[in-house]
Amino acid sequence: MDGNALSNITIMGLATAPASTAVTFNGKSVGHGFYNATSQTFFIGHLEEAASSGAWAVDWTLEYGVGSQSYGWLWWWCYS
pLDDT tens for each residue of 9-33: 999 998 988 888 999 888 899 999 9
Assigned domain for 3 exists: no
Query: Which conformational region is residue 15 in: left (phi greater than 0), alpha (psi within -120 to 50 degrees), or beta?
Result: alpha
Assigned domain for 42 exists: yes
Instruction: Residue 15: give the domain boundaries.
Output: 9-76
Residue 55 · residue 4 · CB < 8 Å: yes
Angle at 53 between CA 27 and CA 2, to 5 degrees: 125
Assigned domain for 36 exists: yes
Q: Where are the beta strands (DSSP E) in the chain?
A: 9-12, 22-25, 28-32, 34-36, 41-44, 60-64, 72-76
Assigned domain for 37 exists: yes
Question: In total, how many domains does the chain have?
Answer: 1
Assigned domain for 2 exists: no
pLDDT at 52: 81
Give the side-chain half-sphere CA count within 13 A for 24. Answer: 12
pLDDT at 70: 47
> pLDDT tens digits, residue range 39-73?
999 999 999 888 888 777 788 888 888 654 445 55
